[in-house]
Chain A
Amino acid sequence: MPEPAIRIAQMHKYYGAFHALKDINLEIAKGEKVVICGPSGSGKSTLIRCVNRLEEHQAGDIVVMGTPLDDNVDNIDEIRREAGMVFQNFNLFPHMTVLENCMLAPVLTRKIDRSEAEKTAMQYLERVKIPEQAHKYPGELSGGQQQRVAIARALCMAPEIMLFDEPTSALDPEMISEVLDVMVGLAEEGMTMVCVTHEMGFARRVADRVIFMAEGEIIEQGAPDQFFDNPKNERTKLFLSQIVTH
């Protein structure tokens, strides 16, 4: 069996005395698309933030693309370069233009020369359909446009894995689909994706697997058809009924 993209074994995470993640065991294969859902406070964001060490786990192992996530800063940086992340609040750098946002990390960490980095950046900005905004500042763009720039910025590092932390939760309703379209396109090209999201339509359409979390534990997981149409756990059923009925 080939090495999975992400392997998490017996992982625990605490905030002080609070047990935020409990015995997480999870393997995500290369090219797999996984959607993580669950009520707020269930630890789903914390889980993907542990994968690139934005949060530190206290016990267990995390291995990303064969690199163990430990206290070695080189390993951490290596993993962060291999795993792109898209945030709920975009987190673009407001003092740089869209193009500079996209070029910064490749130029600094991959030592690519500027003209090459610019070419790559423009290519990805075209992918997310906003090449004409390249010389604007983030503050001049709509939320949907900013989130697409954030996706392009992550892609410029040519990551093996993309982590999405509620990428559409801060968007106005009419902008959600433009971001989801980009994500669907990415999925179709075979990117390994881990998405924390409440967009169940998206989950049904692209996910290979849906994971349901509650109170820091993985409660249930399965292929979308089985997960949505035939959930086994009571809490999953309750959660699904709550998000479907309104």
Chain B
Amino acid sequence: MADVIQPPKDSFQSRIKARYFATRRDTVITVVFAALVAWVLWSLIDWALLNATFAPNAGDICREDLHGGACWSVVSTRWRIVLFGLYPFEEQWRSAIACAVMVAVAVLSCVPWFWSAKRLAPLWVVGFAVFYILMRGGFFGLTEVTEQNWGGLSLTIFIFSGTSLLGMPLAIIFALLRRSKLPWIARTMALVIDTIRSLPLLSIMFTFAIVLPFVLPDGLTGDKLYRVIIGYALFFACYQAEIIRGGMQALPAGQEEAAKALGLGYWHRIGYIVLPQAFRNALPPTINQFVITVKETSLVTIIGFFDVMASGRAASGTAEWNFAVIEMYVFVGLIFLVFVFSLSRYGAYLERRLGVGKR
């Protein structure tokens, strides 16, 4: 047997030279950009760390600070307002635990072991129940806190998970109806999807928050918060339905035919053959849709809820902190970054994992 011939290996130095210093022009570009990056990084470190003020309640020091460093004091003073909004101060531990429970449930449902309706459903039911009991109170000697006073990060997380959990099954139903063999069902669904997609999210939120109570009988209105979540879910479902439909259309016709030829009924074909592959095909746009949804939750501020974004911005409305706008936005931005970035990384993991069986 002949020896296996290895491709020649480049040394680290030769690779660097080939990529960044191959010609005189490359060298110039590399040097200029390296200098630029170094300058930006240094300015950032200088502002955010070296010249910054970290101690709480140091607004006066920040104002007199001539170096112009970041005033993280606004964050260390007001972080509880950002995370918990208008939630009563002494009860904020409840909001913190509720938030942690929700995040834990979300993380657990990302673990492959939980990927079946039998395990996911109880997990989320228990998660929401614990969240509600802790947040709302009124049971077990917990003082009652109405939805109007929920706020900050736990509100953002609640709206996001409520929207996804309601929106995803709805999206699947919409996508299936849109594909119905009966033309009037398919066309009606298409019309509904196109109509809702052509409306701005804001107008849908206003409709659900403010207009709906006039239309619905009193017993059915529920709290504004839940109506808004339903509005979000409907909006989410219309976009996600089209994403799922795209994933279904990418399937070769032979897949459904093979399932039919084996005698599998409609729901078996959908549940075992069509949807699993459609979701696989549609994974990148699905993650995209979730990311957009996380960020869109901050629109609830407009109808009077203090989500994490609004409670952060509230700082700039106070006389004490009206100068520290950037610092607060950076802090809130970092919170969003943690969630959205984890979501993106999880999406990348899923793509790798599900890619196993693919050609």
User: Given A77-B265, A91-B254, A94-B277: A139 and B358 within 8 A (CB)?
Assistant: yes
| Whole-angstrom CA separation of A153 from B359 in the bound complex | 20
The B contact surface, by secondary structure, is: helix
Q: Are A87 and B254 in contact (CB under 8 A)?
A: yes
6 tightest A-B CB contacts, nearest first: A137-B357, A81-B263, A91-B258, A105-B262, A91-B254, A85-B261
B223 at the interface (CB under 8 A from A): no
Chain B residues contacting A78 (CB-CB under 8 Å) are 263
Cβ contact of A154, chosen from B252, B262, B276, cutoff 8 A = B262
B260 at the interface (CB under 8 A from A): yes
In the complex, how many angstroms separate the beta carbon of B261 from the nearest chain A beta carbon? 4
B273 at the interface (CB under 8 A from A): yes
Q: Are B268 and A108 in contact (CB under 8 A)?
A: yes
Q: Are B268 and A94 in contact (CB under 8 A)?
A: no
Chain A residues contacting B136 (CB-CB under 8 Å) are none
A selection of 11 A-B contacts at a CB cut-off of 8 Å is: A73-B265, A87-B254, A87-B258, A91-B254, A95-B277, A95-B354, A105-B263, A109-B263, A109-B265, A137-B357, A163-B261
Chain A residues contacting B259 (CB-CB under 8 Å) are 93
B18 at the interface (CB under 8 A from A): no
A157 at the interface (CB under 8 A from B): yes
User: Given A80-B260, A93-B258: A109 and B277 within 8 A (CB)?
Assistant: no
Chain A residues contacting B255 (CB-CB under 8 Å) are 91, 93
A112 at the interface (CB under 8 A from B): no
B264 at the interface (CB under 8 A from A): yes
The A contact surface, by secondary structure, is: mixed
B215 at the interface (CB under 8 A from A): no
Q: Are B358 and A94 in contact (CB under 8 A)?
A: yes
| Whole-angstrom CA separation of A137 from B358 in the bound complex | 8
Q: Are A104 and B254 in contact (CB under 8 A)?
A: no
| Whole-angstrom CA separation of A53 from B263 in the bound complex | 11
Chain A residues contacting B280 (CB-CB under 8 Å) are 95
Q: Are A94 and B261 in contact (CB under 8 A)?
A: no
Chain A residues contacting B261 (CB-CB under 8 Å) are 52, 54, 80, 83-85, 87, 154, 163
| Whole-angstrom CA separation of A91 from B277 in the bound complex | 13
Chain B residues contacting A97 (CB-CB under 8 Å) are 357
A42 at the interface (CB under 8 A from B): no
